[in-house]
Amino acid sequence: MSISLPAEAGQPAVRFAICGVGHIGRRHAALVQRQPGAQLTALIDTRAELGPELAAEFAGVSFFTSLEDYLTHGPAADVLTVATPNYLHASQAIAGLQSGLHVLVEKPLALRTADAEQILATAAQADRLVFGVMQNRYSPPAVWLKQVMEENRLGGIFMVQINCFWNRDARYYRPGDWRGTRAQDGGTLFTQFSHFIDLLYWVFGDVTNLQARFHDFNHQHLTEFEDSGLITFDLVGGGNGTLHYSTAVWDRNLESSLTVIGEHGSLRIGGQYMDKVEHCHIRDYECPPLLPTNPANHYGFYQGSAANHVQAIAEVVDAVRSGSSVETNARQGVKVVEIIEQIYKMK
């Protein structure tokens, strides 16, 4: 039997099988084991050499070296978590749905809008749920920003500026790996910054009149795509904005920030991972105390965004049990893929 915390009285545990046990997949596995009402039943990874290591770390949890083998012979589960390289997300999510599992997909949902739409169509046919991991939505500054917008505190929006300046160098992009390849990775916006585009869409709505400029400053021998870009757009709801991003920063991440200028005030969320409110000056309003933001995901020599996967897993457990509303709505995940696809068509 796999290890899990006790389920709430009268409620069976929601069982998870995790496909892809790299940095993120292993984090999912550990958090599932600690999540009340969740149970880890299987781990799936093509690297057979991981078997003994995972057996020691996740005692009693079955290990499989292919998704097909698990779906045919594995112990029953309710949810398949897909945490594999980007290019596999769509096909593996669809396979899980067709086998009767709900699916939780790491970012990005897919690398093509058509594939993301197929995931949703398959879920509807199978009467299963699809969840996308968009961890920025759970950070206290992001929750606060969403509330400020819903309460119309800023009035009309004039400008939105997002800056994402990170380090991803030869320690991250290694020869022979899927990262950095156009076909398997998809590009900087898919792998590194799709959750910031999700935050933009979640808070401000759809965008139009996209324009883009791309640069490859120091990744010419590391990746098959740009390391930096400047995107301009108009908000369908009014106002305009920019997304300025780079993975060419030397040695370590610089910042992730979002600045809003509106009719009745301005605000800025900043820090390395949009983890704090740096400025708030809004008419007849004071920013309330916020809960601390979770620390960044650590991957040894580099860092990612705030570690908010625990909220995503809790949300999946609640939704599978009760059919409650899903904050990480897969339809919005499709929209994020669509926006990135539109941007990259301008290359």
**140 and 276: one domain?**
yes
CATH code of the domain covering residue 58: 3.40.50.720
Q: Which residue has the higher pLDDT, 311 or 324?
A: 311
**200 and 224: one domain?**
yes
pLDDT tens readout for residues 155-178: 999 999 999 999 999 999 999 999
- The 3-state secondary structure of the chain, one letter per residue: CCCCCCCCCCCCCEEEEEECCCHHHHHHHHHHHHCCCEEEEEEECCCHHHHHHHHHHCCCCEEECCHHHHHHHCCCCCEEEECCCHHHHHHHHHHHHHCCCEEEECCCCCCCHHHHHHHHHHHHHHCCCEEECCHHHHCHHHHHHHHHHHCCCCCCEEEEEEEEECECCCCCCCCCCCCCCCCCCCCHHHHCCHHHHHHHHHHHCCEEEEEEEEECCCCCCCCCCCCEEEEEEEECCCCEEEEEEECECCCCCCEEEEEEEECCEEEEEECCCCCEEEEEEECCECCCCCCCCCCEEECCCCEEEECCHHHHHHHHHHHHHHCCCCCCEHHHHHHHHHHHHHHHCCC
- The answer to whether residue 3 scores a pLDDT higher than 50 is no
pLDDT tens readout for residues 189-202: 999 999 999 999 99
Confidence of residue 205 (pLDDT cuts 50, 70, 90): very high
Confidence of residue 291 (pLDDT cuts 50, 70, 90): confident
CATH code of the domain covering residue 164: 3.30.360.10
**157 and 120: one domain?**
no
Domain for residue 6, yes or no? no
**121 and 159: one domain?**
no
**183 and 299: one domain?**
yes
**169 and 293: one domain?**
yes
**150 and 290: one domain?**
yes
Domain for residue 344, yes or no? no
**155 and 283: one domain?**
yes
Domain for residue 88, yes or no? yes
pLDDT tens readout for residues 9-55: 568 999 999 999 999 999 999 999 999 999 999 999 999 999 999 99
**217 and 264: one domain?**
yes
**Boundaries of domain holding 187:** 136-305
Domain for residue 127, yes or no? yes
**141 and 277: one domain?**
yes
Domain for residue 239, yes or no? yes
Q: State the pLDDT at residue 328.
A: 59
**318 and 293: one domain?**
no
pLDDT tens readout for residues 125-157: 999 999 999 878 888 999 999 999 999 999 999
pTM, entire model: 0.92
Domain for residue 338, yes or no? no
Name the domain count of the chain: 2
pLDDT tens readout for residues 61-114: 999 999 999 999 999 999 999 999 999 999 999 999 999 999 999 999 999 999
Domain for residue 9, yes or no? no
